[in-house]
Amino acid sequence: MDSAVAPPAVAAFRDVYRAELDAIRAAGLCKDERFIHDPQGAEIEVEFPAGAAPKKVLNLCANNYLGLSSHPRVVAAAHAGLEKRGYGMSSVRFICGTQDIHRQLERRLSEFLGTEETILFSSCLDANAGVFEALFGEKDVLIADRLVHASIVDGMRLCKAMTDTYKHSDMGHLEEKLLEHADKRFRVVITDGVFSMDGDLAKLDEIVTLAQKHGALTFVDDSHATGFIGKTGRGTPEHFGVHGRIDLVTTTFGKALGGASGGCVSGRKELVDMCRQRARPYLFSNTLASVIVSGTLEVLDLVSETTERRDHLEENTLFWRKGLTEAGFDIKAGASPIVPVMLYDARLAQDVARDLFAEGVYVVGFFFPVVAKGQARIRTQLSAAHTREHLERALAAFVEVGKKHDILGKTKAEMLARCGL
Amino acid sequence: MQPRRILEVPIPDGVDPKGDDLELLKAVFQALTALRVSQGRDWLAKVKELEGDGWTVRWGLTWRAEAKRGEEYEEATGKTLDEALNGVAQMVVAEYAGHVP
């Protein structure tokens, strides 16, 4: 399109957005995409910057926790699903978009998660965006942990219920809020199972106890846990001994469960049935593609047959956390395979990530506004696809880059001082 | 469009409203003026239309609070000033506390 002949209104909006994009880039906040030339895995070929020759690097930033994104059985099941059920359904579920395998997957998920009923969505973001508005209204209150996922914040905004928050994992503050809103019809306690920023786990046992004491409902987004947290990978409810006692669970198939896309709401039958009638992303958006349904069914078979992958992931997590700590890195304590390496300064986080890429390790620096101010870090994520050799190599690269930036064994204050802050 | 008109209302002797009280007086006066003097009664027809469709319609004055920081913007309404400002504060906290994918 020739911008020279564009009408004035077009020129005006181009100016506005070009200026905004320039400001984002100038602030160092531009999210540049890196092109991967092969299937998702522990080692991938990455073209970065655009136009550069693809480089083989160790991948420590995917949500491929169980290493199933390119597993031969999952790929084969997806192929078979494609052959048997076709590519698309060209419909929403309630018109002509429900195949037998959609219902089969919903039943399998209910069994796996220990719930009464499940409904599929195109993504967990859609599930979170639709569930609150479908179930709760002006007589109710949604009380969320302050670090819940952005999609929950969006879902709460779309709902007419009153919204409130409690300080991150602060059970005393949560109880205050439950008491403060005692006059509401329903009080809903909302949390992530594993928080994606710090990798810490919600105190689900205490949350369930408090919710029962005050007659409140519980909601858990277990996207960073389903498939590998808990002895058999049933997620944070299993880890805390409250499996089957959460009223509403949302989760994704886009992380450990094959990593393609799709998500669900699972929980009390009446709540899920109501979502089927009223959740707008479900009613007005296409059905989950059959090829993904087929792949996810195979993933559930794989994770139900053996805990080998989740056990290996746990071993990798322990090895990685121990290795980084002994090397002198400042990491967030915890047990999840999300291991944030704290650098506190945005520029330092970007420089360390760039140097690690040069050393053959693919990680991404996170800084404000994605994380809180002064909390810049590199988020490393372990996978069952990582071998011990992969992690030893990654650790050696981290130590090399850590020495270069003189951050090993340094406190937050010392690191910030090195950055002139 | 008519030029903006300003009506001055003397404050009684001995009364010295400041800060929030002044804002409250302004808001109440503007609301009453809007309700009583504004042109048109289209809203009555809208109410009748909605009631004809079976809706029970209520309306009333409400507090509206907003917070702006550069391009960032949040707003909330409430039956009380506390409710409106708490609403804004909750959304600011929830939106900007820090989230990663």
pLDDT tens, B1-10?
678 878 788 8
pLDDT for A187 equals 98
Query: Contact B99/A157, CB-based, under 8 Å?
Result: no
Nearest Cβ partner for A165 among B71, B94, B101: B94
Query: Contact A165/B96, CB-based, under 8 Å?
Result: no
Taking the C-alpha atoms of A117, A123, A125 and A130 in order, what is their torsion angle to the nearest 10 degrees? Answer: -50
- Cα distance from B95 to chain A (closest Cα, Å)? 7
Residues of chain A with pLDDT under 50: none
Residue A56 parent element (H or E): strand A55-59
- Cα distance from A152 to chain B (closest Cα, Å)? 9
Range of lowest pLDDT (A351-365, A400-414, B29-43, B73-87): B29-43
User: Distances in Å between the alpha carbon of A419 and those of A348, A351, A391?
Assistant: 7, 12, 28
The Cα A208–Cα A216 span in angstroms is: 9
User: Distances in Å between the alpha carbon of A42 and those of A105, A146, A296?
Assistant: 28, 32, 20
pLDDT for B71 equals 78
Residue-by-residue DSSP string for B29-56:
HHHHHHHHH-S--HHHHHHHHHHHTT--
pLDDT for A272 equals 98
pLDDT for B79 equals 85
Sequence-separated (6 or more) residues with CB below 8 Å from residue A302? A68, A71, A73, A74, A309
In this prediction, residues B15-22 reach a mean pLDDT of 87
Of A123, A169, A196, A383, the catalytic one is A196
Which residues on neighbouring strands pair with residue B82, listed in sequence order? none
The Cα B100–Cα A230 span in angstroms is: 23
A252-299 per-position pLDDT tens digit: 999 999 999 999 999 999 999 999 999 999 999 999 999 999 999 999
* Preceding amide of A49 cis, omega within 30: yes
pLDDT for A421 equals 73
What CATH number belongs to A72-305?
3.40.640.10
CB pairs under 8 A between A and B: 46
**For domain A34-63+308-418, which CATH number applies: 3.90.1150.10, 3.40.50.150, 3.40.190.150, 3.40.720.10?**
3.90.1150.10
* Chain B contact for A197 (CB, 8 A cutoff): yes
B34 has pLDDT over 80: no
Residue-range domain boundaries for chain A: 34-63+308-418, 72-305
pLDDT for B59 equals 82
Distance, C-alpha A344 to centroid of its chain:
22
pLDDT for A270 equals 98
A53-80 per-position pLDDT tens digit: 999 999 999 999 999 999 999 999 999 9
B20 has pLDDT over 90: no
Confidence class for position B62, pLDDT limits 50, 70, 90 = confident
With a cut of 0.90, is the ipTM above it?
Answer: no
Strand A338-344 and strand A263-267: the pairing is unpaired
* Chain A contact for B89 (CB, 8 A cutoff): no
**Helix axes A290-305 and A100-113, enclosed angle (nearest 10):** 30
In this prediction, residues B60-66 reach a mean pLDDT of 88
* Chain A contact for B90 (CB, 8 A cutoff): yes
B36 has pLDDT over 80: no
The Cα A408–Cα A199 span in angstroms is: 21
Burial class (CB in 10 A: 0-12, 13-18, 19+), A255: buried
Q: What angle do CA B64, B69, B70 make, to 5 degrees?
A: 125
